[in-house]
Structure 1
Amino acid sequence: VKNEYFPNPFYPVTSETYGAYAIMCFSVLIFVVGTIGNISIMCVVCHNYYMRSISNALLANLAVWDLALLVFGLPLVVFHELTKTWVLGHFTCKVIPYIEVASMGVTTFTLCALCIDRFRAATNVQMYYEMIENCTSTAAKLAVIWIGALLLALPELLIRQLVTEEGGEAEGGTSDERCLVRISTSLPDTLYVLGLTYEGARLWWCFGCYFCLPTLFTIGSSLATAQRIRRAERGCARGNKKQVRLESQMNCTVVALATVYGACVVPENVCNMVAAYMAAGVAPSTMALLHLLSQLLLFARAAVTPVLLLCLCRPFGRAFLDCCGSCRGAARSSAAASDDNEHECTTELELSPFSTIRREMSNYTATGSHC
C-alpha cells in the first residue's frame, strides 16, 4: 500500500542519506548562483540604456528562460529524487521533460542567433554600430526562438507516462514513481503515430539538433568572425582599438557559452544512447543516476551562463558593478573625466549599437542605469 506521507530522505542515517545531502547542497548552490546571476543579467540589460543591443537582448532572453528553468524545474526534480514522488503526478512527469528539452532548444537557437549577429557586426562594422535595432525587429527574433523551441519540444508530452513501482519488504513497502518514455495507448491514432515516430527518432534528433547544430555552427561562425576581426584590425576599419578588443572578447564569450552548453548536454545524449542500445545490460540504478546527472548538468548550465557573462564580458561586469553601486546608494567620488572613461568601457560599441547617440548625448548623464 502506498504511503500517505513523503518519506524523509535524511533520516534514518544510511549510505543513501549522504547522497541526499550531496544532491541537496549541490542543488541549493545551483539555485542561488543561477537565480542571482540571471536576475543580474536581466537587470543590467533592462535598466542600462546603452546595453540594449540585439546581442544583449538575446542574452537577456536566455537569462529569462534559465531563471524559469531553475525556479520551476529544479525544485521538482530534486523533490522527486529525494522522495521518489512526483508532485502533481502525471502533469509534472510530462511538463518537466518538456521544459528541459525546450530549454535546450532556446539555448541552441540563441547561440546560433548570437553567432549570426557577431558575424554581421564583423562584416559591416560601421553600419552595424550606427544602426538602431527597433523593438519590433528584436521582439520578432526573440519570438522565433521561443516559439520554435516550444513547438519542437511538444512531442515530449506524448511519450511520457508515470509508472508507480511498489517497493519490497526490504524497502519498507514504499512506492517509487518513475517517469518513463512510454506512449499511452489511449491517445488518438494520429498522436499515437506521431509519438511512435518521435520516440524512434528522438535519440538522433536530440543529438543532431541540440548538440551538433550549436556546436558546429558556433565553431564555423566564430572562426569566420575571428578572421573578419583580424582583417578589420589590419585595415584599421574601426579606428579604435578598444572596439576590436571588445568585439574579439564577445566572440570568445560566445565560444565559451557554446562550450559550457555542449559539455552539459553530453550526459543527456549519453543517457539517451544507453537507454536505446544498452538498457538491458545496465542496472536500473545506474540508469537513474545517469539521468539525474544529465538533469543536474542542464540546471548547472543555466547557473554558469550568467557567471561567464559577468566574468568574461567586461562591459557586462562593469555595468553590473555600476548597478550594484546604485542599488547600495553609494555616491560616486570620481571626477567627471574618470566617469567618462568608465562609461566608455561599459557602453563601448561592441555591446551596444548606440555609438552615434552616445556622442550626441555626451554632455548628459546616462539614465536608466539603476536597479
Structure 2
Amino acid sequence: MNRSAPAVSAGGAPTWWAAQGGAEVTVVLPLVLAGLCTAGLAGNLLLLLLLAHQLRRGKSSPAHAWLLNLCAADLGLALYGVPARIAAYARRSWVLGRFVCKTSDWLLQGCLVAKSLSWAAVAHARYRSALSSASCKCPGWSWRRRAGLLGAAWLAALLLPLPQLLFAEVAPAARSGSLACLFQAPGHAATFMDIFSKVYPVVASLVPAGFTCSCYWRALRLRAARKKNRLARPGAGGGPPSQKATWALLCLSILFHAMWLPQWVLWLWERHRRPSGQSPAPPAALAVVAELLLFLNSALSPGVFMATSGEFREGLRSLWTALSCRKEAAAAAEEEGPPRAGPSRAAAGENPQPLRDLSPEVVAAAGAEKVLPDVEHFWKDRRNTTAGEESDPVPWEHQ
C-alpha cells in the first residue's frame, strides 16, 4: 500500500518557525545571512580574480581549474541560495513564487554536490602531481579535457538532486496556514524516495569524502618517501608539492564535509520520521545551525585558503602590485595631460613643395649643403669637371 512521504520544508524557513518565530527569526537571522552572503561574495570574487591572474601569468594546473569550480559553486550559493532564505525568514512566508520554490533547494543541493566533487578532484590532482614528481611522469591534461570534466561534474551535481526540483511545491503550512515551500513526494513515488533519501547522502558526500581523504593520504605518503630519497641522494630532482599546502587543502576538505554533516542529520530526520506525529520533529535550532554552517563555510573557505597557501599569498601580492602600478600609470597620464601638437608648417607660413616639383638646381644645392665634412675632400676636385679624352668610351668616332 502506497503512503505519502512526510512534507519537508524546502527553500528555507522551516514550517514550525512560521508559528513560533519572533524577532530573532525575522530580524537577526536575515541580517546574519546577509553578512555571510556579502562575505562569501567578496571572498570568492577575490579568489576568482586571483586564480584568473595566476592563469594569465601561465601558472595553470588541474587543481586551479577545480578551485575555479569551487568558487563558481560558492558564488551560486551566495547569489541564489541565500537571498531566498533571507526573504523566507524575514516574511515568515513564501513570497517568491513557484519557480523559485522548485529551483532554490535544487540549486542549493547541486552546488553542494559540485563542491563535494570538486574537492575530490582537487585531491586527485594533488595526488597526480605528487606521483609525477616522485615515481613517474603523468601526462598533463589539456584545457579541452578539463572543461569536459568540469561540465560532467556539474551535470552529475544537477542531476543527482533532481527530485528536489520535481516534488517541491508552494502549499499552506500545516500549523500556521501561511504559504510555505514544501517538498512532498506523491504516494506512488514514496518507495523511490525512501531509497533515494538513503542513497543520496552516500553518493553526494560519503563517497567523495572517502576518496578525497585517500588521495591526500597517498600524496602525503609519496612526499614522505620522496623526502627520504632526497636525504639519501642529495642530487635527486625536485620534490612533490608542498606538504603545508597539501595539509591545508585536506583540512579545508574535512571542514567542508564536517559543516555539511548537520544538514545530513536534518535530511535523514525529516524524511524518515513518521508522518502521523508519533516521532518528534527536528529541533528548529538544528535547521538554522545547519544552514548557517553551510553558508559560513562558503564565506570562510576563500580566506582560509589564501591565508594558508604561500603560492596564493605571493599571487595576491603580485596582483596588488600590478593594480597599483596601473593606477599610478593612469594618474601620471592624467597629470601630464594630452600631448600638445606643435604648429604645423602651413600655420608657420611655410609652403611645403613636393619633391617632384623641385628643379635639378634646387635639388643639387640641397645635396651640396648636406655633404658630410669627412668626404668633403673627396669631392672637392671632382665637382664641375668634364671627362677627359682618355676616358672617351668611343675614341674612333672622333678620329
Tell me the TM-score normalised to structure 1 length: 0.72
Matched with 1:307 is 303
Counting only pairs closer than 5 Å after superposition, residues 285-304 of structure 1 correspond to structure 2 as 287-304=283-300
Quick one: structure 1 residues 29 and 88, their matched pair in 2 at CA, closer, same or farther if it must change by over 3 Å? Answer: closer
Which of 195, 207, 213 aligns to 2:201? It is 207
Which of 255, 258, 264 aligns to 2:253? It is 258
What CA distance in whole angstroms lies between the structure 1 residues aligned with 2:208 and 2:235? Answer: 33
Counting only pairs closer than 5 Å after superposition, residues 118-157 of structure 1 correspond to structure 2 as 118-125=126-133, 133-157=141-165
What CA distance in whole angstroms lies between the structure 2 residues aligned with 1:198 and 1:78? Answer: 32
| C-alpha RMSD of matched pairs (Å) | 3.1
Which of 30, 42, 45 aligns to 1:39? It is 45
Which AA in structure 2 matches 1:294? A
Deviating more after overlay: 232-241 vs 250-259:
232-241
Matched with 2:335 is none
Quick one: structure 1 residues 184 and 282, their matched pair in 2 at CA, closer, same or farther if it must change by over 3 Å? Answer: closer
Does 1:161 find its partner at 2:169? yes
Which AA in structure 2 matches 1:107? K
CA displacement 1:272-311 (0-9 Å, x = unmatched):
2221344635666x54443333223222222222122111
Quick one: structure 1 residues 165 and 327, their matched pair in 2 at CA, closer, same or farther if it must change by over 3 Å? Answer: same
CA displacement 1:255-277 (0-9 Å, x = unmatched):
11221211221111111222134
Does 1:27 find its partner at 2:22? no
Which AA in structure 1 matches 2:43? G
What CA distance in whole angstroms lies between the structure 1 residues aligned with 2:303 and 2:191? Answer: 39
Does 1:112 find its partner at 2:107? no
| Aligned partners of 1:222 and 1:251 also within 8 Å | yes
| Aligned partners of 1:120 and 1:128 also within 8 Å | no
Quick one: structure 1 residues 328 and 199, their matched pair in 2 at CA, closer, same or farther if it must change by over 3 Å? Answer: farther
Find the residue that maps to 2:173 and give its secondary structure. Answer: strand
What CA distance in whole angstroms lies between the structure 1 residues aligned with 2:239 and 2:262? Answer: 38
Give the Å deviation of 1:79: 0.8
| Aligned partners of 1:121 and 1:129 also within 8 Å | no
Quick one: structure 1 residues 262 and 126, their matched pair in 2 at CA, closer, same or farther if it must change by over 3 Å? Answer: closer
CA displacement 1:120-175 (0-9 Å, x = unmatched):
1111217988965421021111111111111112121122222223877xxxxxx5
What CA distance in whole angstroms lies between the structure 2 residues aligned with 1:239 and 1:55? Answer: 28
Matched with 1:55 is 63
Does 1:247 find its partner at 2:242? yes
Does 1:77 find its partner at 2:85? yes
Matched with 2:227 is 233
Give the Å deviation of 1:240: 8.6
What CA distance in whole angstroms lies between the structure 2 residues aligned with 1:131 and 1:268? Answer: 39
Which AA in structure 2 matches 1:66? D
CA displacement 1:99-133 (0-9 Å, x = unmatched):
11111210121111112111111112179889654
Which of 266, 272, 287 aligns to 1:271? It is 266
What CA distance in whole angstroms lies between the structure 2 residues aligned with 1:20 and 1:324? Answer: 40
Give the Å deviation of 1:198: 4.2
Matched with 2:104 is 96
Give the Å deviation of 1:180: 2.1
Which AA in structure 2 matches 1:27? L
| Aligned partners of 1:108 and 1:213 also within 8 Å | no
CA displacement 1:35-61 (0-9 Å, x = unmatched):
111111111111222332110110011
Which AA in structure 2 matches 1:247? S
Which of 319, 329, 341 aligns to 1:323? It is 319
Which of 178, 186, 202 aligns to 1:176? It is 178
Matched with 1:335 is none
What CA distance in whole angstroms lies between the structure 1 residues aligned with 2:204 and 2:283? Answer: 21
Matched with 2:211 is 217
Higher Cα Rg, which structure: 2
Give the Å deviation of 1:241: 9.8
| Aligned partners of 2:223 and 2:239 also within 8 Å | no
What CA distance in whole angstroms lies between the structure 2 residues aligned with 1:213 and 1:176? Answer: 39
| Aligned partners of 1:62 and 1:110 also within 8 Å | yes
Q: Percent identity over the alignment?
A: 18
| Aligned partners of 2:30 and 2:89 also within 8 Å | no
Matched with 2:190 is 196
What CA distance in whole angstroms lies between the structure 1 residues aligned with 2:200 and 2:302? Answer: 24
Find the residue that maps to 1:51 and give its secondary structure. Answer: coil
Tell me the TM-score normalised to structure 2 length: 0.68
Which AA in structure 1 matches 2:178? D
